[in-house]
C-alpha cells in the first residue's frame, strides 16, 4: 500500500517552517505542501470562532490545491482552538503540534514541574496544561509567555548578548523542581542553542516540532500512507508577501528559497 499525495502543513505565518523542516528531515521521501496564512497573521489575538474559520479555510485550500493525504497544523493557536473542528470536517488525518509536544515533555519529565514557553496567546489558551493533564501528567505545569522571542527570531537575532539576556530574563524564577522546558511556539527551535545554554544541564529541552514529525511518521507507517514514487516535490504557499517567507526560509527551513519559488494563493473561503 502506498500513497503518493503530499503531506499538507499550515501555519498562520512562517513559524511552522520549523515543523516542516523536521518533517522533511524525518521523512525525506515524502512530498510536502506548506501554507503560511501570512495575510491574516497573527492568530493569537483573534477570537476562537475566527481562528476556527481560518483553519478550515487553510485546510480546504491545501485539499483543493494540492490533494493532501494528511494535515499537520503547525500553529499552536490553531491547534489549541480548531483541532476538533478540523478532525470533524476533513477527509484526511489531522495532527496538531500541542499533543506531540506534551507527550514528549511527559516522556522527558522525572516528575518535576513541566515548564511551557509560548506566546501570550498560547499561554492564555492553557492548551498545554490541558493536554498534559489529559495525557495523565500528575505534576505541576508552569507556563510563561515570552512575547519578545518571536520578533527576536524574525529579526534573525539568534546569537550574541541580546537573545542571551532576553532568554535569561524569561527563564528567571522558574519553579526549583522544573525538569522539562517545552518550546511551545514554532519559532523557538531557532533559539535552541541560547535556551540550552541558559538552562541547567539536567533540565530537558523539548521541541514540539520534532515530536510532531515523529508522530506523523508513525501515523504514516501505521496507515500505509508512505509515498512510493521517486523524487518528492515541495511547494510553499502564502496568502501574502512571498518574499518575506523566502527571506526567512534559510533560518527556519534550513533551505534557501527564491521569492519566485513561493506561490501566492487565495484561501478557499467557502465551507
Q: Which member of 60, 63, 126, 147 binds a copy of itself (CB under 8 A)?
A: 147
Q: Mask: binding to a copy of itself, 122-141, rule CB under 8 A, as x and -?
A: --------------------
Q: Which residue is catalytic, options 153, 185, 191, 209?
A: 185
Q: By CB under 8 A, what part of segment 231-260 binds a copy of itself?
A: 240
Q: Which residue is catalytic, options 55, 75, 131, 204?
A: 75
Please, which residues have CB within 8 angstroms of residue 256's CB and are 6 or more apart in sequence?
249, 250
Question: Applying CB under 8 A, which part among 81-89, 101-109, 156-164, 223-231 lies near a copy of itself?
Answer: 156-164
Question: For residue 196, what is its C-alpha cell?
Answer: 540550552
Kindly tell me the burial class for residue 176, based on how many C-beta atoms sit within 10 Å of its own C-beta (0-12, 13-18, 19 or more).
Answer: exposed
Q: Which member of 63, 108, 148, 268 binds a copy of itself (CB under 8 A)?
A: 148
Give just the sign of the alpha carbon dihedral 97, 92, 244, 258: positive
45 contributes a contact to a copy of itself by CB under 8 A: yes
75 is catalytic: yes
Instruction: Please write down the HEC assignment for all residues of 38-57.
Output: CCCCCCCCCCHHHHHHHHHH
Shortest Å, Cβ 18 to a copy of itself: 19
Whether the Cβ atoms of residue 23 and residue 219 lie closer than 8 Å to each other: no
- Taking Cα atoms as reference points, which of 168, 224, 227 lies closest to residue 198? 168
Which spans of this chain sit near a copy of itself (rule: CB under 8 A)? Answer: 41, 45, 147-148, 150-152, 154-155, 157, 161-162, 165-166, 169, 240
Residues classed as catalytic: 75, 185
Amino acid at each position: 500500500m502506498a500513497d503518493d499525495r503530499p503531506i499538507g502543513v499550515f501555519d498562520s505565518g512562517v513559524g511552522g517552517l520549523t515543523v516542516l523542516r523536521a518533517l522533511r528531515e524525518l521523512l525525506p521521501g515524502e512530498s510536502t505542501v506548506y501554507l503560511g496564512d501570512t495575510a491574516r497573521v497573527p492568530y493569537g489575538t483573534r477570537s476562537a470562532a475566527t481562528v476556527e474559520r481560518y483553519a478550515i479555510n487553510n485546510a480546504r485550500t491545501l485539499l483543493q490545491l494540492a490533494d493532501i493525504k494528511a494535515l499537520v497544523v503547525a500553529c499552536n493557536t490553531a491547534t489549541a482552538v480548531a483541532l476538533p473542528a478540523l478532525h470533524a470536517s476533513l477527509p484526511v488525518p489531522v495532527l496538531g503540534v500541542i499533543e506531540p509536544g506534551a507527550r514528549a515533555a511527559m516522556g522527558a519529565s522525572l516528575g518535576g514541574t513541566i515548564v511551557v514557553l509560548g506566546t501570550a496567546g498560547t499561554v492564555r489558551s492553557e492548551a498545554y496544561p490541558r493536554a498534559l493533564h489529559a495525557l495523565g501528567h500528575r505534576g505541576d505545569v508552569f507556563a510563561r509567555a515570552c512575547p519578545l522571542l518571536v520578533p527576536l527570531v524574525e529579526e534573525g537575532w539568534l546569537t550574541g548578548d541580546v537573545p542571551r539576556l532576553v532568554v535569561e530574563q524569561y527563564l528567571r524564577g522558574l519553579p526549583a523542581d522544573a525538569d522539562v522546558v517545552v518550546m511551545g511556539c514554532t519559532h523557538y527551535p531557532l533559539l535552541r542553542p541560547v535556551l540550552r545554554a541558559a538552562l541547567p544541564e539536567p533540565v530537558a529541552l523539548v521541541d514540539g516540532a520534532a515530536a510532531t514529525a515523529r508522530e506523523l511518521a508513525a501515523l504514516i507507517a501505521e496507515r500505509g500512507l508512505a509515498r512510493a514514487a521517486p523524487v518528492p516535490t515541495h511547494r510553499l504557499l502564502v496568502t501574502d508577501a512571498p518574499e518575506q517567507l523566502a527571506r526567512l526560509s534559510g533560518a527556519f527551513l534550513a533551505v534557501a528559497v527564491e521569492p519566485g519559488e513561493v506561490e501566492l494563493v487565495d484561501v478557499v473561503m467557502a465551507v
